[in-house]
Amino acid sequence: MESEYHSRRSLVHWWIHGIAIALTVVLISFLGLLDGIDVLAYKLIVVQIANETIQNQLAIATATNALGTLSFVEPTQSPSRFQQMPPVVTAVLLSITAFTAVWMTRRFQLAVSLGLVVLLSAGYLLVAVVMSLATHWVLPLSVGVLALSMGYVVMAADSLVLAWKQRRFTGQVFSRHVPADLADRIWQQRKDFLPGGGLCSQKLSVTVLFAEMNGFVPQWGVFDTGIITKWTTDYLDTMARLVVDHRGVVEQCFGDALKANFGVPFPRAHSDEIQADASQAVACAVAMGEALQVLNRRWQDRGFPPIDMRIGLSTGEVAALCVGRGSLLKFTTRGEAVRCAGQLARHPHEPDDPALGLGSCRILAVATTAAYLSDRFWLHQIEAGTVADRCQSMVVYRVYGKHDRPACNTAGDLRVSLRVEIMTPVTLACGTCANGLTSNIGVGGMAVCQLVQPLQIGSTTLLRFEVPGHAQTIKAAGTVVWTRQDRAGIAFGALAPSDRAMLDSFVIQEVSKRSPAVL
């Protein structure tokens, strides 16, 4: 019902513009303010046609004399008398022209509308001239072009002003980082966000994301203030853009931290929408981790040290409200989910994870968020201690990445993947740290042997190992797909793009030297 109401209100708005433009143009036509231009144009047209007619008739006369014919056709002495169109017809024609320009500018983009207006203006002039010569009824030339031009200019200016007001309002109440379609909907329902409106205080099911740079504060005393400003601006702009790309709303950026909400400012009617918000939030966090690797490489080229990032995610019911008045009016969320997300981002305890290191991104999510993720992401349950100032320990999951690659999920899949035999140490973290040896490795997983403790099929383990000829340590997460005494097969789940490329290169080189081994 609300969308229909706003659609009708928008339609009335455009009709008012069309009527105003049509009345203005009709008034200009009746007052004859542009008749001088039309008279001059028609005189030029009539004179030109008359001259061409005389030349044609003289050519005919010359041809007949050459044939020995005595007849000679006299040229037309004066053109027929032209008459003005009836006022009612002129008014209808100009109104249709004005409404056509208004409709086109409303329907299409401004650049496309401008091209259509130019084409219609040229077509209108051509039709008016041809009709006047054929019927001797004079159509208004300049006023018709004026109607098309005014329709476009007024509607284009109205669209630009509306877009400016819309962006200013959403930037004032929310932030400048809002998806375009959501900003349009917020603008249409802007009265609901004013003090006393229905959305100024309501409960919403939201997934809150906190992202903070780790180890950034000590750099303040090392680098120039201008460099630090560019550093943080580059980081925050990149992360804020990722939030918008994943249908989230950046609530605020403060220092080197960012807070975003997924599922605001309008309530979700179904659990599927809440699940979609949670999935988008986690996907955004994973994309942030990948973007951080790109930023770190760019910063290292400029001599900056790598920066870690810590992200906290929490899904739950929050209070969504607008605080402040006037230019200080801001939309914010408050509640247990907000505190949990902030605490996870700032949690000092680092899980025993070989994948954490310089330039890493640690993503922690509470159980309520993990419950909505299904099998789309690689998760590993950890013990994160006391969270959100409570005395009880909460279930927290570490997110490693999307579960969207065709990884080996069964022993059969693992056996048929491209593999090479190597013997190199590997560190496993599955509850407790353990050491073992890889017996063979491929792009989809590895086999380990000489394990002190047996692994359980289906359990998630964290891996850290090196391959011959490469000094960089590979860090990955994997799932145990088979076990046999002190041996186990592990399928890779989360693997950094750089590590995956290095492992692929190593396997291809080794396979080219020897035949692949069968697990």
Domains defined for the chain, CATH in brackets: 2-168 (no CATH), 203-402 (3.30.70.1230), 411-513 (2.40.10.220)
If one compares 3 and 318, the residue with the highest pLDDT of the two is 318
Question: What is the identity of the amino acid at 341?
Answer: A
With a cut of 80, say whether residue 323 has pLDDT above it. no
With a cut of 90, say whether residue 398 has pLDDT above it. no
Most confident residue range from 33-42, 54-63, 240-249, 391-400 = 240-249
Q: What is the mean pLDDT of the chain?
A: 76
d(Cα 496, Cα 502) in Å, to the nearest integer? 10
> Would you state the pLDDT for residue 516?
40
If one compares 150 and 227, the residue with the highest pLDDT of the two is 150
Across the range 263-267, mean pLDDT stands at 87
- Between 100-104, 229-233, 429-433, the lowest mean confidence (pLDDT) is in 429-433
Helix (H, G, I), strand (E, B) or coil at 106: helix
DSSP letters, 435-456, are EEEEEEEESSEEEEE--SSPPP
Q: Which two tokens stand for residue 344?
A: 């996870």
Q: Which two tokens stand for residue 32?
A: 């004859």
- Between 97-106, 185-194, 287-296, 446-455, the lowest mean confidence (pLDDT) is in 185-194
Cβ–Cβ under 8 Å, residues 434 and 486? no
Across the range 206-214, mean pLDDT stands at 92
State the DSSP code for 486: T
Q: Which of 427, 445, 117, 429 lies closest to 437 in space, CA to CA?
A: 427
* HEC letters along 250-278: EEEEECCEEEEEECCCCCCCCHHHHHHHH
Across the range 53-59, mean pLDDT stands at 52
> Would you state the pLDDT for residue 75?
41
Helix (H) or strand (E) holding 31: helix 2-31
Percentage of the chain with pLDDT > 90?
15
Kindly report whether the global pTM for this prediction surpasses the value 0.85. no
Helix (H, G, I), strand (E, B) or coil at 205: strand
Across the range 55-79, mean pLDDT stands at 42
d(Cα 140, Cα 30) in Å, to the nearest integer? 11
Cβ–Cβ under 8 Å, residues 461 and 428? yes
Helix (H, G, I), strand (E, B) or coil at 101: helix
Query: Each residue of 408-431: pLDDT tens digit?
Result: 344 334 333 467 878 788 888 876
> Would you state the pLDDT for residue 311?
95
